[in-house]
Structure 1
């Protein structure tokens, strides 16, 4: 059910659900500043808020929708699950199986259970015995479990609101959450299929027309009975069996849940050409093929490469203009003497000063405009590095491309 009016929003009062489920109520898949702001405004208009905050913490961590007064005081509100809000029973997830009734993995055709416990500790940015900023963040991201964040910060009087926040990663830190199969649109968009009683020419016609290498076969109630592939059709003819869909079925396929970790499945997708994706009821929701992996590589990898280039070029540009004295003006830790020891947010403070800006000797660039762009890049970067908002949208991608283009013009001799 999606949110369509104030009455629907008010109906969420007292609900306990994951951040991901709350976003889905607004038909939003990725968490970003615009999405969080929109939901906060709608909830606020209905006198509601969330506890803990929607904007931080793992997407699968639970939050409660409570009246604003309860959210302000921490007073607990009555709880019920998302299934109860929707008028449905919340059933425990089922483990999808293959045609042999067993769970599959990439070894021996049995699927690995998604029990990996991914824990992310973002390190301690301490200034032991010195002035400056100290922040420690401990984040645990596991499927179905909320995260906890313990943050303490003491800022120097000279530091502005753009100081490196506890949620900001040091420059160069890698993402701390795992990719899942559900990140692929094709895993959620349904499948084109035939039934066991359809003619084989019809199945082959669909495969030829759409360029498919495989076609799922579902019975009348949507239960998966097997898969037809070009190889299985050839094997049927080679063994002299009648040319029917039933005789061309193969059991050499794997079905996984949408929340399964993607990277361990890559060898399986490469070997078999695809995996089918099921929801918790066992219904097939999509398919991920080797071609999907290739198509998604650019979507997944591009922001990291572009952000990495932005960081490297920005460090070089700033490193040529600023020395130890400038670094200490934005961070009082005496151990930090070079630009490349600063946090990304501290780059903003370094540049957001007219006297220091002139040291860059970029007469053709407006300081306010450049710093504004850098703030937006920082927001995109934080979302990407935490995997909180999924992959950047088209607007964010254009922003990164334009910003790195500016840096290339002032760092022309550096290797990309």
Structure 2
């Protein structure tokens, strides 16, 4: 909302777009500007377990000011600073003098935006429907009957079919606004894996002792920003920065698909049978679902039996390593190279899957194919423009003010190709018997795919479906571009 958003319908429409359509996170300053929170309002964070109370007040610019003068945009950062501990969900930690939680004030703002009269804008109406669905999910989470669904179905609430960085941020922000998170993190598992929509605990002190696995989608960490995992491109001062994304261990298909294991008291016959029946090269040795004792492999069996033909099974157990499903894939590669395989822990620290070098090779191989085709497409587009059009005219279209100092076809970007080929005059000079609008529409689709790939945000393999599109475009350029 703008500073005077409490009064005009135009500002109300902007409010709906800001919180519900664009999906950015609600800030304390938004509550102040909407008149739902007054500057100078006193806040209290009561830690009943320790018999402590922490005081703060709302500043005129919508920050939380502690009694020692420290000021924070984020309620969670303020709670962590006040206690010297954390992380906390500050929205359910801080309460007004009448006992109203900041989270309740936030929900009032969202309700107001969602209840605006229908505007005829499809996106606005879809966002209002989604708001109702998220409120119901929060109610069920608070009633200890949380909604469980696949990541694919969750994305469908936003009309999305894959997790690009903008979609991921929008989903995370709207979940956070409703006090929801997903377990496991929806961005760190496969698109057909199931996640549970959980709410924040009413006793926030319980959360401070569960820090081993880190935050999940929708929760907050201490810091200045309410968007610790991703930064939304909303233009807001808190949300600057490139969204932090990338392939996680959990994005690999085998990471959370379960494991076949044996105990340390197993026999060689049991191990042989399980490995042969499943086509495995290794089995984890577990004492309970969270206690990894090691692993047994064909190589370790051979070494143990070679050293002693009567060796007990325990001699064949070798070291194994487990990583979190939420770890970035690139960060665990050294350990994968060392062990040849890694066990994967889920959000409860149970051993839930296994990944191998073959899994990673397949993942990066699938990622590399569309990259190679994107490079080929770039070269073909540059060639047809450089061979068929005048450089001066191209520069005039792409750099009318001269700021970019374009001086050669090699300096053109993908956006420049779109600009040039979308121009009717330049298109006519190519003399192609093709429909310009259809060609440019496909070029625009490929531009979006290219952006996702270049940001390494292709979690859901949009590149796989794009491969035929890329090949067809390249073939068309070869045929008509000479």
What does residue 86 of structure 1 align with? 198
How far apart are residue 319 of structure 1 and its match? Answer: 1.6
How far apart are residue 79 of structure 1 and its match? Answer: 4.1
What does residue 301 of structure 1 align with? 368
How far apart are residue 86 of structure 1 and its match? Answer: 2.4
Matching of residues 174-213 of structure 1 within 5 Å: 178-213=246-281
1:392 and 2:476 are equivalent in the alignment: no
2: CA distance, partners of 1:194 / 1:280: 22
Query: Cα gap change, 1:150/1:320 in structure 2, threshold over 3 Å: closer, same or farther?
Result: farther
1: CA distance, partners of 2:228 / 2:311: 46
- SS of 1:228's partner is strand
- SS of 1:336's partner is coil
1:287 and 2:357 are equivalent in the alignment: no
Structure 2 counterpart of 1:39, from 140, 157, 162: 157
What does residue 377 of structure 2 align with? 310
What does residue 376 of structure 1 align with? 445
What does residue 115 of structure 1 align with? none
Query: Cα gap change, 1:234/1:371 in structure 2, threshold over 3 Å: closer, same or farther?
Result: same
1: CA distance, partners of 2:356 / 2:165: 33
1:11 and 2:136 are equivalent in the alignment: yes
Query: Cα gap change, 1:55/1:370 in structure 2, threshold over 3 Å: closer, same or farther?
Result: same
Instruction: Number of aligned residue pairs: give it.
Output: 309
2: CA distance, partners of 1:88 / 1:13: 9
Query: Cα gap change, 1:13/1:275 in structure 2, threshold over 3 Å: closer, same or farther?
Result: closer
1:268 and 2:335 are equivalent in the alignment: yes
Query: Cα gap change, 1:402/1:189 in structure 2, threshold over 3 Å: closer, same or farther?
Result: farther
1:56 and 2:166 are equivalent in the alignment: yes
Query: Cα gap change, 1:246/1:11 in structure 2, threshold over 3 Å: closer, same or farther?
Result: farther
What does residue 28 of structure 1 align with? 152
Q: For the Cα contact (< 8 Å) 2:344–2:352, is it kept in 1?
A: yes
Provide TM-score, normalisation by structure 2: 0.54
- SS of 1:326's partner is helix
Query: Cα gap change, 1:183/1:324 in structure 2, threshold over 3 Å: closer, same or farther?
Result: farther
What does residue 287 of structure 2 align with? 219
Query: Cα gap change, 1:354/1:87 in structure 2, threshold over 3 Å: closer, same or farther?
Result: closer
2: CA distance, partners of 1:236 / 1:372: 63
How far apart are residue 243 of structure 1 and its match? Answer: 5.5
1:348 and 2:415 are equivalent in the alignment: no
Of 400-409 and 373-382, deviating more is 400-409
Structure with bigger RCO (C-alpha 8 Å, 6+ apart): 1
1:240 and 2:308 are equivalent in the alignment: yes
What does residue 428 of structure 2 align with? 358
Provide structure 1 residue ranges, at least 5 long, that are not aligned to the other structure: 17-23, 30-34, 43-53, 67-76, 97-140, 153-165, 170-174
Deviations 1:98-131 (CA, angstroms, capped at 9, x unpaired): xxxxxxxxxxxxxxxxxxxxxxxxxxxxxxxxxx
2: CA distance, partners of 1:296 / 1:176: 20
1: CA distance, partners of 2:323 / 2:425: 58
What does residue 329 of structure 1 align with? 397
1: CA distance, partners of 2:165 / 2:328: 24
Q: For the Cα contact (< 8 Å) 2:370–2:463, is it kept in 1?
A: no
How far apart are residue 217 of structure 1 and its match? Answer: 1.9
Q: For the Cα contact (< 8 Å) 1:14–1:78, is it kept in 2?
A: no
Of 240-249 and 206-215, deviating more is 240-249
Deviations 1:372-392 (CA, angstroms, capped at 9, x unpaired): 211111111111122334232
Query: Cα gap change, 1:145/1:86 in structure 2, threshold over 3 Å: closer, same or farther?
Result: closer
1: CA distance, partners of 2:347 / 2:270: 30
Provide structure 2 residue ranges, at least 5 long, that are not aligned to the other structure: 1-128, 142-147, 184-195, 202-206, 215-224
Matching of residues 168-179 of structure 1 within 5 Å: 178-179=246-247
Provide TM-score, normalisation by structure 1: 0.61
Query: Cα gap change, 1:340/1:188 in structure 2, threshold over 3 Å: closer, same or farther?
Result: farther
What does residue 84 of structure 2 align with? none
RMSD: 4.2
Query: Cα gap change, 1:64/1:267 in structure 2, threshold over 3 Å: closer, same or farther?
Result: closer
Q: For the Cα contact (< 8 Å) 1:216–1:226, is it kept in 2?
A: yes
- SS of 1:275's partner is strand
